[in-house]
Amino acid sequence: MKKHLSLLVLFVIAYANAQEKKAPNKAKDTIIKTEVVNVVTSYVPKITDAFKIKQKPIIEHTKETQKKALEYQIFSVPVASTFIPKSGTMKKVDLGKRERLYDNYVSVGFGNTLSPFLEAYVRRSQSYNSELGAHFKFLLSSDPVADTELSSTFYNIDLNLIYTQQERYFEWTAGLDAEKDKYNWYGLPTNITFTEATVSAIEEAQSYNHFKIFGQVKPDDSYLEEANGAISFFSDSFESAEFLVDGNALFKFPLDNFHRQLNDIYINTTLNYLGGSYAYAYDATTPIDFNFMTLGVHPTYKFNVQDVAIQLGAKSYFSMDTERSEYNFFIYPDVEISYPIIKDFTNVFIGASGDLTTNMYQSFTDDNPYLSPTLDIRQTNKKYDVFGGIRGNLDHEFSYNAKVSYADIENNPFFVLNQSKSDGDNIAGTNGFTFYGYEYGNSFKVVYDDIKSISFLGEIAYDGIKNLTIGANAQFNKFTLTNEAETWNTPKIKGEIFGTYKTNKWYAGANFYFVGNRKGKVYDTLPADTFTSVDLKSYFDVNFNGGYHFDDTFSVFLNLNNVLNNSYQRFNNFNVQGFQAMGGLTWKFDTLF
């Protein structure tokens, strides 16, 4: 043990002496120094020094990635078949000769009552997306009504200009209508004896002037389907004037964004302003003024529930009558439901509707040109019109429609004769003013009454015979009046039978009109303000028309009206023309410029 301790002490002492010794100094030659190395030339590698990949490398597939060839096998199974093709030739469908259409035409004619006729239409395409057209029509009939003390001459002149332009995103149309008509108040009352001096002093002529500027816009891809606007002016020979501003815009809104099975909803908006005046009232020297402003909204939605077709809609109007200081709001239904009891052949339908109509001097003269320029202008309010019926076709050759309706109408207009201011001898009143040409009981006024009506309408048509189409319609009305004694100059029954026949060279048509009995009002002579009701007999009017085509450009025509030469009265005291014949020539041609 002592031996081991001695050795450990000696080892510690030796290690301590070794640590106290200094490190030996290195030689100067062994110290590393920093120096600057100047590179005279740099190494520039070349493309040849790099390994280049071949443009078309060869790729060797392993055995596992080799493509295998596909093998197809068809298993043929015999199938029994009973089909045996029939041999034969195709049957041609006779479509007839295709009629060539021309851009322009001119028709001239002449009638047996010194009645010249002229009609022309000219069309020109300015470019591939624009078109200009003009239509002109003239008809004169020289004193055609027999046995009248006053002249019955009339003429109509009508000119229409229209221009259409197709732009990139929409199409627009602008046009002008100009019309001038002349008539005579020739229907003197038969219960008054007029002297020759009085008859010769009557100025029975009346003329109407109508000017209209209109426009239309149809966008290609828009909620707006189309927008229409028109400004028109109507006047006569007695300082009467009527100004109309009319516009409407039809919108279509898709509802499939809410549900894919929903259809589009249509909303029609309208704006209408009518203003006018008459120089004198019939029973006074004061003027008559009228002004109406009407705003309307009409939404419509159509859809089907299985086989039932449903239309839902409503009409709403806000109307202002500034002359009478009246403001009204109207709402009408516009509903129709249709169901095919025999699919593709018979449909039954029911519905309800109504509407507001602003009557105009111009529209009244279209129905009866023998009005006095002293009318009372009002709006007609059809509160409701409930209807139902059946319609359809058989073998796509025979079509029919039967309808019954019940309506409640406020301010329904009727034409009534004015009372004569002359007793047959005088041509001026006690105030010294000479009577106008319409103040001899030979003109009509408009009276209004609230009525309820039941109407039956039936229509049929048949075109199953080659080149021939025939049809008929009839309407029966039953009226319940509030104030008036009769539905003056309005028939309770009327109907028509018509037919057309056409071949490559010949064409012909026929119309047979029937109008039932009517009632007219005849006033006694002044100063009594009494009247009597007179019967206006029913009449049957037969008309024919036809022609022959020499070729595609030239043809002749012949029109025969009132073939039976019946001297009936359309309005009381106004007989119509007798037998009328007019023949002429039509020339169709391409544009000349």
Q: Hey, is 278 helix, strand or coil?
A: strand
CA 161 centroid distance within chain = 18
Residue 406 forms part of a structural domain: yes
The widest CA-to-CA distance across the chain, in whole angstroms, is 187
Please tell me the distance from the alpha carbon of residue 208 to that of residue 194, in angstroms, as a whole number: 27
Q: What is the mean pLDDT of residues 177-206?
A: 94
| Gyration radius of the chain over CA positions | 47
Lowest mean per-residue pLDDT among 77-86, 330-339, 396-405, 562-571: 77-86
pLDDT at 76: 46
pLDDT at 96: 56
Residue 209 forms part of a structural domain: yes
Does 17 score more than 80 pLDDT?
Answer: no
pLDDT at 506: 93
pLDDT at 126: 74
pLDDT at 10: 47
Does 567 score more than 90 pLDDT?
Answer: no
β-partners of residue 337 are 310, 350
Residue 140 forms part of a structural domain: yes
Residue 356 forms part of a structural domain: yes
Please tell me the distance from the alpha carbon of residue 124 to that of residue 132, in angstroms, as a whole number: 5
pLDDT at 36: 55
| Residue 484 pLDDT level (bands cut at 50, 70, 90) | very high
Phi-psi region of 441 (alpha: psi -120 to 50; beta: other; left: phi over 0): left
Q: What is the pLDDT of residues 176-187, one digit of tens each?
A: 999 999 999 999
Residue 280 forms part of a structural domain: no
Mean pLDDT score of the chain, rounded to an integer?
A: 85
Q: Which residues of 464-480 are buried (b: 16+ CB within 10 A; e: fewer)?
A: eeeeeebbeeebbbebe
pLDDT at 340: 93
Please tell me the distance from the alpha carbon of residue 275 to that of residue 325, in angstroms, as a whole number: 14
Please tell me the distance from the alpha carbon of residue 124 to that of residue 164, in angstroms, as a whole number: 11
Does 478 score more than 60 pLDDT?
Answer: yes
| Listed residue (214, 145, 226) closest to 183, CA to CA | 145
pLDDT at 325: 87
Q: What is the mean pLDDT of residues 206-214?
A: 97
Q: What is the mean pLDDT of residues 440-461?
A: 96
Domain count, the chain: 1
Residue 62 forms part of a structural domain: no
pLDDT at 87: 45
| Residue 592 pLDDT level (bands cut at 50, 70, 90) | low
Residue 476 forms part of a structural domain: yes
pLDDT at 245: 97
pLDDT at 163: 95
Please give the span between the terminal C-alpha atoms of the chain, in angstroms, as a whole number: 147
Q: What is the pLDDT of residues 268-288, one digit of tens each?
A: 999 999 999 999 899 888 899
| Residue 22 pLDDT level (bands cut at 50, 70, 90) | very low
| Residue 395 pLDDT level (bands cut at 50, 70, 90) | confident
The encoded tokens of residue 26 equal 């290195």
The Cβ of residue 436 has, within 10 Å, a number of other Cβ atoms equal to 22
Long-range contacts of 463-471 (CB under 8 A, 24+ apart): 463/397, 464/395, 464/397, 464/398, 467/501, 467/502, 467/503, 468/499, 468/500, 468/501, 469/499, 469/500, 469/501, 470/497, 470/498, 470/499, 471/497, 471/498, 471/499
Does 8 score more than 70 pLDDT?
Answer: no
Q: Which domain holds residue 545?
A: 123-213+303-589
Please return the burial class of 359, using the count of CB atoms within 10 Å of its CB with bins 0-12, 13-18 and 19+.
buried
Q: What is the mean pLDDT of residues 96-121?
A: 87
Task: Return the CATH number at 515.
Answer: 2.40.170
Q: What is the pLDDT of residues 553-566, one digit of tens each?
A: 999 999 999 999 98
Residue with more model confidence, 56 or 467: 467
Cα angle for residues 42, 48, 52 (degrees, 5° grid): 130
pLDDT at 105: 93
Share of the chain above pLDDT 70, in %: 83
Upper half-sphere CA count for residue 359 (Cβ side, 13 Å): 20
pLDDT at 18: 43
The encoded tokens of residue 40 equal 């005279």
Q: What is the pLDDT of residues 55-102, one digit of tens each?
A: 445 555 444 545 556 554 544 444 444 444 444 444 455 555 666 778
Residue with more model confidence, 444 or 20: 444
Which stretch of DSSP H or E encloses residue 412? strand 398-417
pLDDT at 161: 96
Cα angle for residues 280, 285, 288 (degrees, 5° grid): 40
Q: What is the pTM of this model?
A: 0.80
Residue 90 forms part of a structural domain: no
